[in-house]
Amino acid sequence: MNTPDPNADVATLSYEQAREQLVAVVNQLEAGSSSLEDSLALWERGEALAKKCEEWLEGAKARLDAARATAE
């Protein structure tokens, strides 16, 4: 049986939303009060959020590089 990806919503987040949620995930993990199962789910969400932030930053860098190349 296919279960839906609990982190599918990450694809629709802005950079700011993903970063804010990532900070919250890290804080929860650092608190250490979650069960192992919850910690694993948080870790997976954090990985998805970090990847989304990286994609946003890479896109911004590509746009800056293109703008600089055009200006030169």
pLDDT tens per residue, range 8-35: 999 999 999 999 999 999 999 999 999 9
Q: Is 53 in contact with 19 (CB distance < 8 Å)? A: yes
**Predicted pLDDT of residue 13:** 96
**Predicted pLDDT of residue 38:** 95
pTM across the whole model: 0.84
**Predicted pLDDT of residue 1:** 56
Q: What's the distance, CA 30 to chain centroid? A: 17
What are 15's two structure tokens?
């950079």
Q: Where are the domains of the chain?
A: 14-71
Cα–Cα distance measured from residue 43 to residue 62, given in angstroms and rounded to the nearest whole number: 28
